Amino acid sequence: MPGALELSEETRERMAELRGLSEKAEAGDAEARKKLRRLVRATSPEIIGRASDIARRAEWVLIKTISAGEPLMEEALEARLALMREEIAGEDASPLEVLLTERVVSCWMLVEHFDVLMAAQLWTGNEKSVSPSYLKHMLRWQESATRRYLAAIKVLVQVRKLLRPSVQINYAEQQVNVAGDLKR
Amino acid sequence: MTLERRNRRLYYYRSVRDGEKVRKVYVGSGEIARISHEGDILRRTGREAEKEQEKEELERLEALAAPVLELSEAAEILARAHLITAGYHRHKGEYRRARSA
């Protein structure tokens, strides 16, 4: 699966615009909130599409690297990722949730890769010793990947909890709020 | 490290760091000087090669992580924009319904 592993300049510009407007809207700028709403509606599908593309390519590269040319390992990893996507995104995921799921899956792969590398370095039977500065770099990356993975899960949970529509059901004169299981 | 020739004889010294200063430590003369010098050169070359290999490995890992970081950033920005549009704002890392929304 060849292709670019980075977002286009145009998509980055849109992201910068979204970030700027989000900051202003959060600070209470009503005009910025209106603009943000319009921009989100106009650019979301494009950004989601491009970022999802990057996710799939990044996952492909990670699979190739981790499996190191072993077809069985490659297939096992692909199957594992597909299962994770299915389990995490669920049946009625919105496009944004699908993207956030891709992010969780990619981050998980990266964490796994760093964990395996670190374990190999710290294994006492490893004859090839590496320099402390190399280990320090690896540790820092491992920590950063883990933090990013946890943050990815958190954002997905927040989006799912806050952006899924809720329904009010009046049952036996009692009002019950049900959130999250509606098709959008 | 220095290999010096004085009166047709080889003398070998190693440079050793002692805090701020670097001291010259005598290792040996004659055949011992030559063997120690060559041994040190081999060790140094080996260390430099290892360093270069580690640097390449780190660059490879960086390239591997870069798209995941880019994807993370895009997802984060988009999720935030969606949440703010829906009337939430961040407070100590958590999203709350904005009063003005």
Complex-level ipTM = 0.81
- Contact (CB<8Å) A22/B77: yes
pLDDT, position A117: 87
Q: Taking CA atoms, what residue in A is nearest to B80?
A: A22
pLDDT reading at A97 higher than 60: yes
Contact B80/A at CB under 8 A: yes
Kindly compute the dihedral angle of the four CA atoms of residues B29, B31, B32, B35, in this order, to the nearest 10 degrees: 130
The nearest CA of chain B is from the CA of A90 a distance in Å of: 18
pLDDT digits (tens, 9 = 90+) for A98-139: 999 999 999 999 999 999 888 888 776 666 677 888 889 889
Q: Helix axis angle, B30-85 relative to A95-122, nearest 10°?
A: 160
Q: How many CA atoms, within 13 angstroms, populate the side-chain half-sphere of residue B27?
A: 23
Instruction: Determine contact, residues A36/A44, Cβ cutoff 8 Å.
Output: no
Q: How many CB pairs under 8 A join A and B?
A: 135
Candidate from A62, A131, A151 with C-beta closest to B54: A131
Contacts of B88 in chain A (CB under 8 A): 162
Q: For residue B32, what are the domain limits?
A: 2-97
- Contact (CB<8Å) B82/A33: no
- Mind giving me the DSSP string for chain A? ----SS--HHHHHHHHHHHHHHHHHHTT-HHHHHHHHHHHHHHHHHHHHHHHHHHHHHHHHHHHHHHTT-HHHHHHHHHHHHHHHHHHH-TT--HHHHHHHHHHHHHHHHHHHHHHHHHHHH-TT--S---HHHHHHHHHHHHHHHHHHHHHHHHHHHHHHHHS-EEEEEETTEEEEEES----
Candidate from B65, B75, B80 with C-beta closest to A141: B65
**Residues sharing a CB contact under 8 Å with residue A6, sequence separation 6 or more, in sequence order:** A54, B66, B67, B70
pLDDT, position A2: 44
Candidate from A58, A138, A155 with C-beta closest to B68: A58
pLDDT digits (tens, 9 = 90+) for B67-96: 999 999 999 999 999 999 998 888 887 888
pLDDT reading at A176 higher than 90: no
pLDDT, position A119: 86
**Residues sharing a CB contact under 8 Å with residue A7, sequence separation 6 or more, in sequence order:** A15, A50, A51, A54, B70, B74
Q: How far apart are CA B69 and CA A138, in angstroms?
A: 16
Q: Taking CA atoms, what residue in B is nearest to A96?
A: B79
Candidate from B66, B83, B94 with C-beta closest to A163: B83
pLDDT digits (tens, 9 = 90+) for A23-74: 999 888 989 999 999 999 999 898 999 999 899 888 999 999 888 889 999 9
How do beta strands A174-179 and B2-6 pair?
unpaired
**Residues sharing a CB contact under 8 Å with residue B24, sequence separation 6 or more, in sequence order:** B2, B13, B14, B15, B16
Candidate from A107, A134, A163 with C-beta closest to B86: A163
pLDDT digits (tens, 9 = 90+) for B8-28: 899 999 999 888 899 999 999
Q: Taking CA atoms, what residue in B is nearest to A6?
A: B67
- Contact (CB<8Å) B85/A36: yes
Mean of pLDDT over chain B: 89
Contact B99/A at CB under 8 A: no
pLDDT, position A184: 41
- Contact (CB<8Å) A5/B66: yes
**Residue B48 in 3-state DSSP?**
helix
- Contact (CB<8Å) A36/B84: yes
Instruction: Determine contact, residues A178/A169, Cβ cutoff 8 Å.
Output: yes
User: How many domains does one find in chain B?
Assistant: 1
**Residues sharing a CB contact under 8 Å with residue A25, sequence separation 6 or more, in sequence order:** A32, A33, A36, B84, B85
- Contact (CB<8Å) B73/A15: yes
